[in-house]
Amino acid sequence: MNHLKDKIKLDFRSDEPLYMQLVRQVEQLVLTGELNQGDQLPTVRELATELRINFNTVARAYRLLDEARLISTQRGRGTYIWEEPTRETVERLRQISLAELARRYLDEAAGLGYDAPAALDAVRDNMKPGNPEHEDVGADQAIEVKNEQTQQTQRRTSGE
């Protein structure tokens, strides 16, 4: 019986915001192994109903946890405990050099009928100015509150 709601206790009188209480407690549950990789968390509405709070508050907590790479929220599907890339994936990525990646890109572009200069231009065109600096992905990094919207953090861990 993995009822997350039973493991979460909110103190409505604390000065600590509700969403922050949620973040800490879920974080704790994951780190202590009460929640494991791939486990599905309650939906934002489900948990919100159980805890008698607004689902946006849960969503906010989930978003922070997502940005901290502790969980993975997927619209229309649900929210899951973050899964580490498989050993093979990591190894594969490690072995691929940037040069190989570039060559492969050029090959694929050639397959579409584009010559190298055109492919080069395409890369240039698609490197936007506000490009995300890749933040460090440390596992045990503390979760920080961000008061302002941080719209970066698109996540691309080549799946599976």
Partner DNA sequence: TATACAATAGTACAAAGATACAATTGGAGG
Partner DNA sequence: CCTCCAATTGTATCTTTGTACTATTGTATA
When binding is defined by CB under 8 A, the residue of 2, 36, 38, 118 that contacts a copy of itself is 118
The DSSP bridge pattern shows strands 40-41 and 71-74 to be: unpaired
Query: What is the tally of helices (H) and strands (E) in the chain?
Result: 7, 3
When binding is defined by CB under 8 A, the residue of 2, 84, 96, 150 that contacts a copy of itself is 96
Phi/psi class of residue 38: alpha, beta or left (left: φ > 0; alpha: ψ in -120 to 50)? Answer: left
Piece of the chain touching DNA by CB under 7 A; list 28-36, 66-74, 88-96, 130-138: 66-74
CA gap 134, 90 in Å, rounded:
17
Q: Residues 58, 48: contact at Cβ < 8 Å?
A: yes
When binding is defined by CB under 8 A, the residue of 2, 28, 150, 152 that contacts a copy of itself is 28
Q: Cβ closer to DNA: 13 or 94?
A: 13
The DSSP bridge pattern shows strands 78-81 and 71-74 to be: antiparallel
Q: Cβ closer to DNA: 76 or 117?
A: 76
Report if residue 56 touches DNA, rule: CB under 7 A: yes
Report, in Å, the least distance between residue 133 CB and a copy of itself.
6
How many chain residues bind a copy of itself (CB under 8 A)? Answer: 62
Q: Residues 113, 134: contact at Cβ < 8 Å?
A: no
Instruction: Provide the residue type at 97 as one letter.
Output: S
Judged by the rule CB under 8 A, the positions of this chain that interact with a copy of itself are 9-15, 28, 31-33, 72, 74, 77, 93-94, 96-99, 101-103, 105-120, 122-127, 131-134, 136-139, 141-142, 154-160
